[in-house]
Structures are given as structure tokens and as C-alpha cells.
Chains A and B, each alone.
Chain A
Amino acid sequence: MNTLINGLCLGGIYALIALGYTMVYGIAKMLNFAHGDIIMVGAYAIFSTMALMGHAVPAIVVAVVVCTLLGLLTERVAYRPLRGASPLAVLITAIGVSYLLQSIAQLIYGSKSRAVSLGNFGSVELFNVSISISSLITLGLCLIIMVALTLFIKKTKVGCAMLAVSEDRAAAQLMGINVNGIITLTFAIGSALAAFASTFYLMQIPSVTPTLGSMPGIKAFTAAVIGGIGSIPGAMIGGILLGVIEKLALSIPALAPYTTAIEFGLLIIILLVKPTGLLGKKRREKV
């Protein structure tokens, strides 16, 4: 039971990060490999604000603002000039941004890990199991964020425009949709989600290093691909699936050392059976 809750919790974090990957891929048609490092920047923003003010709420607000601005900045400075360039050039740029962010963090904060505590929340008894409150908060907020995002995409005009841009950029322009504006908004949303992910991550693992974003970044990317890259519900399902599997594997002593291998093995198997991922759609190539 506890393993399941922890798994759902981790899965929620992966899902939030995976949403950033999948939305940017769906709309801007690029893999933003610097997305994991946005989480790291968010974690340092929390660390610094906590050191200054000692309270979690302003720290989270600062993290969201910093990450959103950083997402907008990288899109504007690094990716927008490459719109229309070859996907490889954009990919390499994204990897460059990733290293740049890690190096800047290392320059400012050094390479040693810093402890961040967002407070001790204790635990509650539910069905005779003790569950940490931080897990419940993470789980609850992840759910709320995902529902809100889904409603935003499905029910608002701008959300509909995002789906239109993702399906056919030229046709969307002919509707009067400002594609650059939609891409900017997508980066902003993805980065804000990453800030929440870094908050929840620190609630689970209360320390921060310049490479903190790498592993969750890769895992969440895997989750996005498992769910079908470009698909929003796919990223949610992929993230939660991966989180639960990771915690389950870790809880079985015989499997624990192989946890990461199991996760990536799952990716390989799913791609072999369904190359577009669980909810991915086959796109017809237009001639």
C-alpha cells in the first residue's frame, strides 16, 4: 500500500515533467532536452529563497516565476532563431542549453549537494498504514494540476488553438493563430509544471545538486515516449506507470538493483510492440 502511494507520488512528479516534454514536442516539434535542468534551477530557486526567507510558500512561488521566465528566455534566445532549421540542430542546441544551465548552477552554488527542507509534514494513519503527508500533498496537487491542464486544453479557446498548432501549423496560422505566441505559452506552461515538479521532488529527496535534473529528466522523457510523445494523457499515464513500476521494483529486494534496467526495458518492449507509444497516434505523412 505504502509502496503504491509512493509510486503514484513519484509517478505524479514524472508525469508533470513528462507533460513539459510532450507539450513542447507536440506543439514546437522539438525535444527540449534542457527541460530536466529547468527542474534543477527550480530546486535552487527554492533553496535560495528558503535560505533568505525560511518559508516554503514564497519559495515555491519564486521557483514557479523563475522557471517560467527561464523557459521563456531559452525559447526566445536559443530555440526561436532555429525555427525552420533541421531538427538535429535544434536537438544539439537543447543539449547545449542543458549543459549551460548545469555549469551556471555549478558556478553559483558549487558542485556539492545542498540540503533543502521544505518542512516536516509528519504522517497519518490510513487503513492501518502510515502514509507521509508530503506524499498525500504531492499526489493531490499533481492530480489537481493535471485535471486543470486537461480542462484548459479541452475547454478554452487558447487550449484548442494549442491542439490546432500541434496538428497543422500552417492551417493554424490561416485561422489567425499566432504560432510563435502559442509556442511561447507552451514553454511557459511546461516550465511552470517543472517548477512544481521540483517542489515535489524536494519533498521526497531534500537535497539539490547541479545535475539533479538529469535523471528525473531522462525518466520523464522515457515516460512521455512510453505514453506516446505529443499526447497529453499519454504523458500522464506514462509518468504514473513508470513511477509505480520504479517503486515496486525498489521494494522487491531481488529486483531493486535492476530498477533502472527494468524501466528502460519496459520502454524498449513498448516501443517494439507499439512504436508510437501507448496513446501515440500515427501521423500520416503529407505529400
Chain B
Amino acid sequence: MALLEVENLEVCYGLIQAIKGVSFQVNEGEVVALIGANGAGKTTIMHSLCNLIPKKAGKVSFAGHDITAVPAHKLVPMGVAQVPEGRRIFQELTVAENLRLGYYTRNDKKEMEETLESMYERFPILKERSKQIAGTLSGGEQQMLAMSRALMSHPKLLLLDEPSMGLSPLYVNTIFDMIKQVNKEGTTVLLVEQNAKKALAIADRAYVLEIGKIAKSGTGAELLADDSIRRAYLGG
């Protein structure tokens, strides 16, 4: 059974239908990538999965539960965490406060400190800056913080929306290494990316989104080798 199952999802902005019946699945333990050009509807799908914007039609289930209409804040305790596009860390709070908010829905002080410590181990820079206001971090550090903050809730499924956007190549590698690492530790990942090459390289399976519809799907390696994909997304 798929961990996340999306069936015939449709999303509208006013009269404009942005997502025109999209279906895909993410199985437990996988990294699944959703790639596509700017405006294809990747972020719209991510937002609608967590009901930050309403769905027009379709069904979403997670671990056998129907979560089509479950509000975002109730998804976190179920095991769904999203790192939104543009990181959206709380700029005016400290690094440590941001991380603690990631643990908001759980209530075990000891476990929280342990989780916090494991995040600091992964990214020692966050520990060094734990008392610093998050808005003063660099873009790459903010992305690390955003991902660590999401992991604080011990999610089963991590939704990553454009984690490499606007980052230097060095940080892009760090972030993709982290995604592999997190997946190896047992978290299932749905990754939305414009950096198709990197995304396909780490994805077990991937879907190609074109103007609100799934145009193609396959394993990461298959799509990397596909000529039309190469031309459209990988620069020849």
C-alpha cells in the first residue's frame, strides 16, 4: 500500500484550473521526485496536499487515512511535514526557537532535547548559531534550518518544495546529501524540484508535471536517460 496516494487532484485559482487531475503515489521508504518547469503546478500541488489552498476535486490518502480535507496543523501529528518553497523560516525568532516550533505538536521534553541535539549534530553550524535571529542566516543555512525544523516532528513523510532554490552549488550538494541521509534513516520523501538532474539522480521514481498534468513517469534512472526529458529539463 502506498504511504501517500493522490487521486485525480484538481486545484483552481479562481477560474483558472492550475491542476487538472493529477494522480501519483509515494511508497514507504521511497524518494519520489516531482519535476517540471516554472508554472507547471508543483508548488500548487504541495500547498493543496496540506490544504493551505483548497482542492477542487480529488482524493488524498496517507497511510490508509483519508486526508483530503484534514487541515495542515492536524497533518503534522499524523506524520506529514512540509518544508515550503522559499524556506519560510521564522525570520524574527532565533534558530533554536524555530527548531522548537518544529516540535510543537509533541510533548516530551527529553525527546525534544534529544531531537534538537541530533539536528545540531547533523548541522553543527545551527548549534553555533542557535541563539542568533534566524533572519541573519545565509540562504543555505536557512534551508538547513527549515529542513531540520520539519524533521523535529519525526515525520513519516517529508514534503520538500524546491529545497535547492536560490542556493550556491555547494549548498545544493549539502541539501541533496541530507535528503539521501534522511531517507536512509527511514523517512519517505516527496521532492519537488526545478533542478531535475539532481532530483532524478537521487529519486527512486519521478513524475514529470506539465501545465497541471502528469506527462511522464518512471524511475529516476529511466527519466534521466529519456531523450525528451533531457531536451526539456536537463539542457540537452
Instruction: Show the binding face of A for B, using Cβ within 8 Å.
Output: 157, 160-161, 163-164, 167-168, 170-179, 281, 286
Q: Which residue of B lies closest to A169 (CB)?
A: B52
Q: Please state if A170 and B84 are interface contacts (CB–CB under 8 Å).
A: yes
Contacts of B104 in A (CB 8 A): 157, 161, 175-177
Structural contact, A175 and B52, CB atoms closer than 8 A:
no
A171 touches B73 (CB 8 A): no
B93 touches A167 (CB 8 A): yes
Partner of B73, one of A167, A168, A179: A179
Residue-wise, chain B 71-88 has the 8 Å CB interface mask toward A (1 for contact) of 111111100011010101
Residue in contact with B90 in the complex, picked from A164, A173, A281, A286, CB distance below 8 Å: A164
User: A267–B71 Cα gap in the complex (Å)?
Assistant: 41
- Chain B contacts for A168, CB-based, 8 A: 88, 90
A175, A178, A179, A281: the one within 8 Å of B101 (CB)? A175
26 A-B pairs with CB atoms under 8 Å apart are A157-B104, A160-B97, A160-B100, A160-B101, A163-B90, A164-B93, A167-B91, A170-B72, A171-B88, A173-B71, A173-B72, A173-B73, A174-B50, A174-B76, A175-B76, A175-B101, A175-B104, A175-B153, A176-B73, A176-B105, A177-B73, A177-B101, A177-B104, A179-B73, A281-B92, A286-B86
Q: Is the beta-carbon distance between A175 and B102 smaller than 8 angstroms?
A: yes
CB < 8 Å neighbour of A167 from B52, B71, B86, B90? B90
CB-CB under 8 A from B77, the residues of chain A are 176
Which residues of B lie under 8 Å from residue A286 when comparing CB positions? 86
Known: A160-B100, A161-B104, A164-B101. Contact between A174 and B90, CB under 8 A?
A: no
* B93 pairs with A174, CB closer than 8 A: no
Q: How far is the CA of A170 from the CA of B91 in the complex (A)?
A: 14
Question: Which B residues touch A171, using CB under 8 A?
Answer: 84, 88-90
* Min CB gap A84→B, angstroms: 10
Chain B residue at smallest Cβ distance from A179:
B73
- The smallest beta-carbon distance between A23 and chain B, in angstroms, is 15
In Å, the complex CA distance between A157 and B96 comes to: 12
| B42 interfacial contact with A, CB 8 Å | no
Q: How far is the CA of A108 from the CA of B44 in the complex (A)?
A: 52
Tell me the minimal C-beta distance from A145 to chain B in angstroms.
23
Chain B residues with CB under 8 Å of A178's CB are: 73
With CB as the reference atom, state the residue of chain A lying closest to B105. A176
Residue of B nearest to A165 (CB): B90
CB distance from B222 to the nearest CB of A (A): 32
Q: Known A170-B52, A176-B77; judge A161-B101 contact (CB<8 A).
A: yes
* A contact residues around B93 at 8 Å (CB): 160, 163-164, 167
* B55 at the binding interface (Cβ < 8 Å): no
Cα of A161 to Cα of B92 in the assembled complex, Å: 12
Asked if B149 is an interface residue, CB under 8 A from chain A, the answer is yes
Give A161 to B76 CA distance when docked, in angstroms: 15
Q: A157 — which chain B residues lie within 8 A by C-beta?
A: 100, 104
Docked complex Cα distance between A176 and B104 (Å): 7
